[in-house]
Structure 1
Amino acid sequence: MDIEFSLALPREAIGIPMVRRVLGDSLRSLHVTENCVSDILLAVSEACGNAVRHGGPANRYHVEAAIGLGRCDVRVIDKGRGQVRIPEQYPSSDIENGRGILIMQAVVDEISFEISPGRGTTVHLRKRLDVDEEAVTARPRELASV
């Protein structure tokens, strides 16, 4: 089963829980393991947080997701200045920022950036899905008992 959706969100933190809810519920409905769901939601939250902080001058950013064929692809698209600096190591604990990209890299299989100066940034996250096979095989029995 394939699921695709696109969300246009205000550049405010209030939109991040909405993305997490829609994406998390979609993955769980396909019996993706909770560890895999958590990794994807962490990466997407970081990407959305960056769009909220750095995605100006536009008042909105977009999230596009495609789930199917054993993987999840998410794109977070903003209209920011299109600058991405990938740190070589985690910053010291007394520095507040600079961990997001490294966190995303740690929990997804692939991350890429499409940077168009003056047009914005797209963060593309891709992760292979781990499916809970027991839940998938138990589903027909659950439906039969309803």
Structure 2
Amino acid sequence: MSIWWSLHLRREAASVPLARRLLLGTMETAGVDPDVSYDLSVALTEACANAVEHGGGRGAHGISEAYRVTAYLDGDTCRIEVTDSGPGFPAHLGRRTGDRVGAAGAVGPAGPAETAEHGRGLGLIEELADHVRFRNRPGCGAVVSFDKILKWREGALLKVS
């Protein structure tokens, strides 16, 4: 069995916990291991916070532009995508390992300082997920997508046999 959902959210800080709670509720109902659910929820929080902060300006009538969160649970994998309408990731970030266009290039090889207030979110997503991709949609914003192999609780509703 597989499920997916998609949210279109205003770029406002209050939208971030809404997306996180929906993901956690979906994971709990499906029977995903709580540690995996927690990792995914933290990664989602970081991706949404990035979209809220950097994902575009204000549209007509001063209303914040929206961003989209889509989650897919298919078999033993969860994929989450957060898409915004901002300027995208800076071109100077360059390529990192795999197909990641990464954050570390923007802050140097060692990453941001431990005391830095910003700059750790994309690296945290990389640590929590199994496969991560940061990319730009030409002229349309950025996409952060990440996958994680799921572990299941005993008697889980969606567990693949």
For Structure 1 versus Structure 2, the TM-score category normalised by the shorter chain is 0.7 to 0.9
Q: Does 1:127 align with 2:148?
A: yes
Give the TM-score taking structure 1 as reference length: 0.86
Percent identity of paired positions between Structure 1 and Structure 2: 34
Is this contact kept in 2: 1:55–1:78, CA < 8 A?
yes
Larger % of helix: which? 1
More divergent stretch after superposition (76-85 vs 19-28)? 76-85
The Cα shift of 1:117 comes to 4.2
Counterpart in 2 of 1:94?
Answer: 115
Q: Which amino acid aligns with 1:40?
A: L
Q: Between Structure 1 and Structure 2, how many residues are aligned?
A: 136
Q: How does 1:57-136 map to 2 (within 5 A)?
A: 57=57, 59-84=65-90, 85=93, 86-87=103-104, 88-132=109-153, 134-136=154-156
Aligned-residue CA RMSD (Å):
1.6
The structure-2 alpha-carbon separation of the partners of 1:136 and 1:94, relative to structure 1 and needing over 3 Å to count, comes to: closer
Q: Which amino acid aligns with 1:125?
A: F
The Cα shift of 1:90 comes to 3.5
Structure 1 unaligned regions, length at least 5? 138-146
Select the structure of larger CA radius of gyration: 1
3-state DSSP of counterpart to 1:79: coil
Q: Does 1:12 align with 2:4?
A: no
Q: Distance in 2 between matches of 1:136 and 1:43?
A: 23
The Cα shift of 1:3 comes to 1.4
